[in-house]
Structure 1
Amino acid sequence: MSIYSEKDAKAILDKVIKLSKADECTASLNGQIDGNIRYAINAVSTSGIVSDAELVVQVAFGKRVGTATINEFDDASLEKVVRRAEELAKLAPENPEFVPAIGKQTYKPTKTWFEKTATIKPEYRAEVAADSIDPCKKAKLIAAGFFSDSNRFSAIANSNGNFGYQTSTNVDFTCTVRTEDGTGSGWVARNVADVSQFNADDEIKIAIQKAQDSKDAKALEPGKYTVILEPAASSGLISYMMFGFDARQADEGRSFLSKKGGGNKVGEKLYDERVTIFADPADATAAVLPWDDEGMVRERTPIITKGKVEFLQYSRYWAKLKDKKAVGQPGNLIMVGGDKSTMDLVKSTKKGILVTRTWYIRMVDPQTVLLTGLTRDGTFYVENGEIKYPIKNFRFNESPIIMLNNIEEIGKPVRVGDDESPFVMMIPPLKIRDFTFTSLSDAV
């Protein structure tokens, strides 16, 4: 069994805490049932279910910390993992930045679990694959995709009396559709907690249309262009930017939010006044667990408000050093937008480029958050409010700081999931002027 009830999870964690002879003990118990189906070249290649649970025990003797993990939960195994963590703690050097375990917290439950997602059967996954593959076959296109669903629980406890338990569900879907000659490519992705909000029939139409429309792309000279970035195109850049919102990095001069001569830029206006980003664990569109990895309570947190930086993340150690309040690290990012669709932004564009998504994003300069990456799976030239023709993909060099100062229009936010990001995101399509493309890419 990998999904434990709150009662059973607490019983295991209580045993662990009681067994420990250390000065303090913190434990987390997590389990999941993950189902998936993968297909390529219009045929299912793999499918399966992974079921697992894991207990992580961390103890401290003074400032010496030890951690051990196990996936067996009988009494003998629980004692074994506690003793192993204690052995490691006694061998460890003192941690000069050690902070004691958190005190008892009050967690307000958030809506992260949906029964329809938790009870997905293999037959449903097969239907998703069929709904993706069949229309591609009829259109003489080639589909490759992945659908995964998860049903999870998370429980935490410590020797100070803290305890939390919550369940969650998630669905991820991606599909790439190619033309038979390989010159056209379309892509679609969806991330939801409630599978009733997902329909593979509707989603695959997007990828099919883009694959057909992107065939025989023309080359356009690199340079600065007005771009319409779909949410999947801008989310990766914005996510990278958020790694700079760390108070210690900023205070130590290692971030774009560092001030010359010391300090940070909290309170300064660094973005277009239309940029507002916040975190809220209870947000109905992107709910997350009400605690972070340390068990700290997540709060509704303004991060950027009308272009002004309002928040930096303080670790408990750095907060104590700087006499600041530490709060739970955000688990989601919600960017405020309007009500326009991507195509509405296209219609208002005299000349520009529509970008389906960006990928292989890498940092060039942390001080300016200059990023490089590539467009992929459908890049189009726009003129007088219409998509005129497909163009070859570009490499870009751009900073999201500059990007979010060059906004022309903001559309309606949609939920975006990204394996490389720690956040669930609600990101709108964006129309940006002077976006920098540096070279062409032969990839489709």
Structure 2
Amino acid sequence: MSRDEAQALARRVLGFATATESRVIIGTGARGNTRFAVNQISTAGDNSNTTVAVRSVVDGRVGSASTNRLDEAGLRAVVENSERLAKLSPVDPELMPELEPQSYQPGVGWSDSTARLDPAGRAAAVGRITDQARAAGLVSTGYLETRATAGAIANSKGLFAYDRDTDVALTTTVRTADGTGSGWAGGASNAWSSIDPAALGARAIEKARRSVNAVAVEPGRYTVILEPTAVGNLVQLIQGSINARGADEGRSFFSKAGGGTKIGEKVVDERVTLVSDPFDPETAGNPFTGEGLPARRVTWIENGVVKNLNYDRYWARKQGKEPTGAGGGFGGGSLRMSGGTETIESLVAGCQRGLLVTRFWYIRPVDPRTILFTGLTRDGTFLIENGRITRAVRNLRFNESPIFMLNNLEAMGRPVRVSASESGNAGAAVVVPPIRCRDFNFTSLSEAV
């Protein structure tokens, strides 16, 4: 859907509105996926859809409704349903007025290479993994997902915003025929042209081969080399605590003892900077929030020091601040972490004894005040002795905070975009380096391969 088409549709919807204030959110586009198992494609699907969501304000009460019926009757009905629900709702004490028209920087998240990737192209990409695995006598599984969408926001005050973007993610797990060895590799991007399926397959195959005959190591605190995906799995968890309201109300890690927040305080190693930038091609995001507020580049932590917390419009007004314009924090999820010049090989070479971790999974919260999480290693965990990987080890459960991890930093490599979601979909854009850190806390062994 083009900008002009989205604007015309929004005007049609708003033309039916009688509420005090109304907002229309349009989402449209195409999604495709190909799933493979046992070295062959098992399912493939494509769908396209357009949804219209309406938010109505009637006398301080808010209602919402959505539809994918775009005929006149369907659009009229969704507005009427939204307004009817608003009248039934209690008064919202934190209601903010709709925004006046805004100016937006053009988005940078669209890639023709992703938008053009069709089922045949996805099948060919999967084949570059399955053919390698089959030739090696191994078993590959995985998931390839694409998304090419457009979104628009309009309101009764004349605001209109439009953007389109693409995402793609390819992940694969390769196992030995007897199921005792497992390796994983994955990539995510806005641009399909930046993903190399054959290289991902080769990496997963190598890890699967090396992970057989795993031995148990004693749980405890280890120096670890975390590959970029493992770093992304943990660093993105800071997002849930970066909001200003939780900090002001004393409910988060960013709350200061005795009141206030930790803005201006050093909380991690001085080499660490965390930034959200929706206009960085590697971390591209929407150029506006769900309310139509222009998005912007936000530095959350700079040289280890907290610089910003995420203020929504209501809390910003209450606290006398400017709203951040970062969606749910980290630019709606996107994040770039600073890095260094090391390679994974040199990070390993600098470790006397430790563990190399490919990725984490089944990550769950333990303590929000310290951002403590628990989870498991998966698909390639190896013992390092005297600067060399010597053998595979059984998977371990960890109890660790990304804040503690970033305080115990020893060295970093070059940041890369990773597939940091456990589900294998593109998820939010996360660009992070491999790292070496000390005293990473492993609490028990796992039977999982």
- Fold similarity call, TM over 0.5: yes
- Which residue of 357, 376, 380 corresponds with 1:374? 376
Shift of 1:380: 0.4
Please show how residues 236-275 of structure 1 align to structure 2 within 5 Å: 236-275=233-272
Percent identical across equivalent pairs? 45
Paired position in structure 1 for 2:404: 402
Partner of 2:289: helix, strand, or coil?
coil
Q: Could you say which residue in structure 2 is the equivalent of 1:439? A: 444
1:383 paired residue number: 385
Distance 2:109 2:11 in 1: 25
Q: How does 1:14-413 map to 2 (within 5 A)?
A: 14-329=11-326, 330-331=331-332, 332-413=334-415
User: Structure 2: how far apart are the matches of 1:408 and 1:27?
Assistant: 49
With the length of structure 2 as denominator, give the TM-score of the two structures.
0.96
RMSD between superposed Cα atoms in Å: 1.2
Q: Deviation of residue 17 (structure 1)? A: 1.6
> How far is the alpha carbon of 1:294 from its aligned partner?
2.1
Q: Retained in 2: the 8 A contact 1:353–1:382?
A: yes
Q: Which amino acid aligns with 2:439?
A: D
List per-residue Cα deviations over 1:329-355 (Å, max 9, x = no partner): 213111011232222211222221100
Q: How far apart, in 1, do the equivalents of 2:119 and 2:295 lie?
A: 35
Alpha-carbon distance in structure 2 between the residues aligned to 1:343 and 1:83: 62
Distance of 1:280 and 1:177 partners within structure 2:
34
Offset, 1:419: 3.7
Separation in 2, partners of 1:422, 1:369: 21
Question: Is the 2:283–2:431 contact (alpha carbons within 8 Å) kept by the matching residues of 1?
Answer: yes
Q: Report if aligned partners of 1:297, 1:327 keep a CA contact under 8 Å in 2.
A: no
Give 1:375 shift: 0.2
Q: Deviations over 1:32-89 (max 9, x none)?
A: 2111111111221101101111110001012101101000112221111111111111
Task: List 4+ stretches of structure 1 deviating above 6 A.
Answer: none
Seen in structure 2, the aligned counterparts of structure 1 residues 405 and 422 have a Cα distance that, compared at 3 Å, is same
Check the 8 A contact 2:419/2:427 in 1, yes or no. no
Deviation by residue 1:285-307 (Cα, 9 ceiling, x = unmatched): 12111112222211111100000
- Per the TM alignment, residue 385 of structure 1 is displaced from its structure 2 partner at its CA by 2.1
Using a 3 Å threshold, how does the CA distance of structure 1 residues 53 and 375 change in structure 2: closer, same or farther?
A: same
8 Å Cα contact 1:340/1:412 also seen in 2: yes
Q: Does 1:416 align with 2:418?
A: yes
Contact 1:296 1:327 in 2 (8 A): no
Amino acid in structure 1 at the alignment position of 2:61 = R
User: In terms of mean alpha carbon deviation, does 171-180 or 409-418 score higher?
Assistant: 409-418
- The correspondence for 1:5, drawn from 2, 7, 31, is 2
Higher mean C-alpha deviation, range 363-372 or range 335-344: 335-344
- For 1:228 and 1:289, the matched residues in 2 are separated by 33
Per-residue deviation, 1:408: 0.1
Unaligned runs of 5+ in 2: none
Q: Which secondary structure does the structure 1 equivalent of 2:171 belong to? A: strand
Secondary structure at 1:83's aligned position in 2? helix
Find the residue that maps to 2:280 and give its secondary structure.
coil
- What displacement does 1:148 show? 1.0
Structure 1 residue identity aligned to 2:117: I
| Offset, 1:203 | 1.1
Q: Give the whole-Å Cα distance in 2 for the aligned partners of 1:22 and 1:242.
A: 35
Q: Cα 1:63–1:422, aligned 2, differ >3 Å: closer, same or farther?
A: farther
Residues 269, 409 of structure 2: 8 Å contact kept: yes
Q: Is the 8 A contact 2:276 2:283 kept in 1?
A: no
